[in-house]
Structure 1
Amino acid sequence: MTLVHGKQETTPGGHRPWATLPDCKEVLVVVHTAVYGQRLHDIYSLLGSDLRVNVQFTVAPHAFNGGAQAHIRLLGAPVLPWAQAVRREFDLVLAAGSQGLEHLRGPLVRLPHGAGHIKLSRAAGADGERSVSGLGAEYVTWNGRLVPEAYALAHRDDLAELGRGCPQALPIAEVVGDACHDRIAAALPARAHYRAALGLRPGERLVLVCSTWGSGSLFTRLDAVLPRLAAELPRHGYRTALLVHPNVAAAHGQWQVRSWATATARGAVTVLPPEVDWRPLLVAADFIIGDHGSVTLYGSMTGAPILLAEYPHRDVNPRSPGALLARTAPALAPGHPLTGQLDYAAEQYRPEEYRAIADRITSEPGRFDHNMRRLLYRILGLGQPAHAPEPPALALPAPLPTPPGGPLDGLPAPLPLGSGRA
């Protein structure tokens, strides 16, 4: 490190002689978007308490990186400028996206940024086929060479997809499991606590509306779905919350997203901010209305009946658990009362069918932290800390705003959910 105009700077090799702990292993977390940053949190947290490791963050070029810097600063971490990051050497690089990674120096561990590898790539390859998003050669190679040193996958089925899309990457692939799956599974027994934190009363039903981003998302039908929720669901007995993929706000602005949603919902739906942790909401939900996004797929774990409001079959990997969900969950119908459709979804709910879908999310249930930490420390060349990983429980969410009119006593009894949840 040298001093330039009174500022400490690292040497080209990244050595920091002026730091209090100058001999740490240097880890770079690459945040392409706020979503990728949320996804990576469960990974770099495995390193955060180790005094031998120094974790830094940078924002990589990406069309949807609006909000990425704010995400990092909410952690209390500085943002290493991308122009400096590409000049440094790191002992480990973590990323959930692919753009720009070929410019970084250091062994890269790549993670998926969603569940189930549901989507197909937008463009077809030279053979006319569309690869599975994240598992084609365009996502893991640059000029014919592999960019990651390791690709951490959630399920054994992902190896078969990777073999189709980029067989040269199979030697670097490692099945470690899925952090969000494990966090949700651990939180489900405490569902009542999450519902109480949200301010839900006994017997009150939470309808969670989930939209991914893009032309095939539920958001494109917001003006058809939200007015129905506002007009048809009784205000007393139901609470409705809208969860929108942060990429929508990154493209259009959070003010615009909130304005669109609030206007179409007539104030009857709580619009959740893009930085909210969606997992406690999913744990607490009684019903899910969704699309082909990862959040809807994770909903298959919870026991909540699912209605699909939008599903672009041509853009979905037909072998994915998302496609299986589309063949299982009932579709929202335009010509029938919404409450009756929720009743129907509850009556038709078969726990074993949804368990089969959820089982496709990870083939290492409950093992993500153990497997992932082992992989990270192997690449760092360090022995693991002498204790089992201790992932924190999902934080209790903030209360949902009280809907207009407020909740009243005498709420109707809950619908007989097929999952038999408390």
Structure 2
Amino acid sequence: MERDIGAGTAPAEPANAAGASQWLTLSACKRVLVVVHTEVYGQRLRDVLPLLESDLRIQVDFTIAPHAFNAGAARSLPWAQGSPLPWQTALSRRYDLVLAAGSQGVDALRGPLLRLPHGAGHMKLSRPADDRDPGAPRTVGGLGRRYLVRNGRVVPRALALAHRDELLTLSRHCPEALPIAEVVGDATYDRLTASLPLRTRCRTALGLRGGQRLLLVSSTWGAESSFNRLDSLLPRLLSELPSDDYRIAVLVHPNVWSRHGDWQVRSWLSAARRRGIALVPPDADWRSMIIAADWVIGDHGSVTLYATLTQAAIILARFPAEDVDPASPGAELARIAPALSPSHPLPEQLAYARAAHPAVEYARIAHRISSEPGRFGRNTRRLMYRLLELGEPAYEPSLPPLPLPRRLWGTHRTRRSHLGDVPA
């Protein structure tokens, strides 16, 4: 869960800042700061960057903010090499626009803040036992006062929302932020729907052969996530599903990688990986994976909700209803999607989920992710340029198609040995 705002007071601008401009080639640019708290937040912010490209009036800087899960944040930065601005340096400068998908520490930055969502809407509730705000009632993560207000002041200049229904949620948990809220839509919704025709190409890129079916196991982070059940689920998948007909991939939330470490996550899943289950790297674009999938076995994470946009049949391995906003589309999905049974054969459950696939209901839930379908780019660019006090570029904004996924399987058959299924 996102932590609350607050990180002290920003220091003054360095005395030599004006002199430093002599080294710039374009010295009159509007300055934009992209604040990356975690790998997930950084991945979401990368969807916004194409809306600022090719404009010589704008200079974009990046910084990594303090956060419990920022160990993998650098992986989401949009370059292979290079260093972001140190956090203290970012605090010392004044910006014309600050972009962030999290709240921790942003009140100390100097410049108008645009807060963007970091998942499919705002589903999860704040943690019940939070020593930073003991006894406070639970709120919807990202939309409560602890995320938006500091010292009695609403911190963001603008709050971007994906769906107009979230205005009602905001009115319950932080009504003073309603004047700065703006419904812009959802970039992942738009890019996913635009890339659905690439399903065949995505499956080929992954290394799937004709007729093979892809089962994607997805886990969010935290004690109530499906990651806690992988030690029982994965062996069942391996023993009950024919390896020639099924490919299995595991998608683990980047917060798990960040907090436990890359080596540890790979180590925990090493036995399954040796038998042919693919572990999706944390920096991979998971959205092309759900386009390619035939089934998604998930939990209360955003990936499961976004799967309602695709052809994948959904099965819930775990869904802690007490931690989810009951009015959210995620909670509605949990009331419809079939739940994984520990006592029935998996092939039967997969067949049931496919045959009972409630397409109409899933489409209705998917429409609750964004009330501005196809318009995230237009709405968000307009909002950013308004905050920058600049006229928009004289061309239609657009988001690129999703990249094809990385190859996870070779073209050869899986061979069987005394060690289990081993990719040939």
TM-score, length of structure 1 as denominator length: 0.91
- Once the two structures are TM-superposed, the CA of residue 16 in structure 1 deviates from its matched residue by 2.3
- Once the two structures are TM-superposed, the CA of residue 338 in structure 1 deviates from its matched residue by 0.6
Counterpart CA distance in 2 for 1:138 and 1:283 is 36
More off after superposition, 182-191 vs 13-22: 13-22
Letter matched to residue 69 of structure 1: A
Contact 2:162–2:371 (8 Å) recurs in 1: yes
Counterpart CA distance in 1 for 2:49 and 2:20 is 21
Call closer, same or farther: CA 1:274–1:10 in 2, change over 3 Å: farther
Query: Hey, what does 2:63 align to over in structure 1?
Result: 58
Query: Hey, what does 1:120 align to over in structure 2?
Result: 125
Are positions 1:357 and 2:365 aligned together?
yes
Letter matched to residue 256 of structure 1: Q
Query: Hey, what does 2:22 align to over in structure 1?
Result: 17
Letter matched to residue 405 of structure 2: P
Contact 1:57–1:79 (8 Å) recurs in 2: yes
Contact 1:98–1:140 (8 Å) recurs in 2: yes
Contact 1:116–1:322 (8 Å) recurs in 2: no
Call closer, same or farther: CA 1:326–1:14 in 2, change over 3 Å: farther
Query: Hey, what does 2:9 align to over in structure 1?
Result: none
TM-score, length of structure 2 as denominator length: 0.91
Query: Hey, what does 1:108 align to over in structure 2?
Result: 113
Query: Hey, what does 1:308 align to over in structure 2?
Result: 316
Unaligned runs of 5+ in 1: 1-8, 409-422
Counterpart CA distance in 2 for 1:295 and 1:351 is 17
Are positions 1:158 and 2:163 aligned together?
no
More off after superposition, 187-196 vs 207-216: 187-196
Counterpart CA distance in 2 for 1:263 and 1:102 is 45
Query: Hey, what does 1:379 align to over in structure 2?
Result: 387
Number of residues of Structure 1 aligned to a counterpart in Structure 2: 400
Query: Hey, what does 1:47 align to over in structure 2?
Result: 52
Letter matched to residue 46 of structure 2: H
Are positions 1:72 and 2:72 aligned together?
no
Counterpart CA distance in 2 for 1:110 and 1:219 is 29
Match of 1:287 among 267, 286, 295: 295
- Once the two structures are TM-superposed, the CA of residue 197 in structure 1 deviates from its matched residue by 1.3
Counterpart CA distance in 2 for 1:284 and 1:13 is 52
Call closer, same or farther: CA 1:259–1:14 in 2, change over 3 Å: farther
- Once the two structures are TM-superposed, the CA of residue 267 in structure 1 deviates from its matched residue by 2.3
Match of 1:170 among 171, 175, 178: 178
More off after superposition, 146-155 vs 126-135: 126-135
- Once the two structures are TM-superposed, the CA of residue 78 in structure 1 deviates from its matched residue by 3.1
Task: Compute the RMSD of aligned alpha carbons.
Answer: 2.0
Unaligned runs of 5+ in 2: 1-13, 417-424
Are positions 1:346 and 2:351 aligned together?
no
Call closer, same or farther: CA 1:13–1:241 in 2, change over 3 Å: farther
- Once the two structures are TM-superposed, the CA of residue 127 in structure 1 deviates from its matched residue by 7.7
Letter matched to residue 400 of structure 1: L
The aligned runs of 1:132-147 (5 Å cut-off) are 132-147=140-155
Are positions 1:253 and 2:261 aligned together?
yes
Counterpart CA distance in 1 for 2:109 and 2:302 is 28
Secondary structure of the 2:238 match is helix
Contact 1:92–1:380 (8 Å) recurs in 2: yes
Counterpart CA distance in 1 for 2:415 and 2:318 is 30
Contact 2:117–2:161 (8 Å) recurs in 1: yes
Query: Hey, what does 1:94 align to over in structure 2?
Result: 99
Match of 2:250 among 242, 247, 260: 242
Are positions 1:299 and 2:325 aligned together?
no
Match of 1:187 among 158, 182, 195: 195
